[in-house]
Amino acid sequence: MPDISRARILIIATDGFEDSELLDPRRTLIDWDADVTLASIKKGEIKGDKGKAANVDITFDDVHASDYDALLIPGGTKNPDKLRMDEKAVGLVKKFMDAGKPVGAICHGPWLLVEADVVRGRTVTSWPSIRTDLRNAGANVVDQEAAVDSNLVTSRKPEDIPAFTEAFIQLVEKVEAKMPAE
């Protein structure tokens, strides 16, 4: 089992997230003792597109990218579409990517990567309907369960969650291995 027990993972989402793409990786990360924080536009509870709910830990107003080791962006069509219109969410994505911290985006989540202008020259994958957006933003688009390019892992759909989560954890584990012991 990977050692990500010191990792501080930020998940950003809002109403309309794909239930499994937020809840399944989040559960796995927590099971492996990562410190997972869910940030959103508003306080309280956000609802997935299939009706599951998740409690928000912090709003974007109170998030500092420097407090976290990695960023995870779930999909769903509504979630990333709303988030890419939020300057703070887009700014967080850019800060994580510019710092070289692990970033994972699944399904429609890469829309935020396009909005943050961080896919140029990167190899990525996504849900088929946004691949043209990714190509137009300068990405090399592939069709596979998980595409890893340096600090970025992207994935296509809920069925790919195991491969996506494993690849994301491997990126986080590499960062953890470089951290000095407490």
Q: Which residues are catalytic?
A: 108
Token duo for residue 16: 């309309």
Distance, CA of 172 to CA of 182 (rounded, Å): 17
Three-state DSSP state, 70: strand
Distance, CA of 171 to CA of 39 (rounded, Å): 21
Distance, CA of 122 to CA of 134 (rounded, Å): 10
Which amino acid, residue 53? Answer: A
Q: What are phi and psi of 65, to 5 degrees?
A: -55, -30
The beta-strand segments (E) located in the chain are: 8-12, 35-40, 45-47, 53-55, 58-59, 70-73, 103-106, 123-124, 140-141, 146-149, 152-155
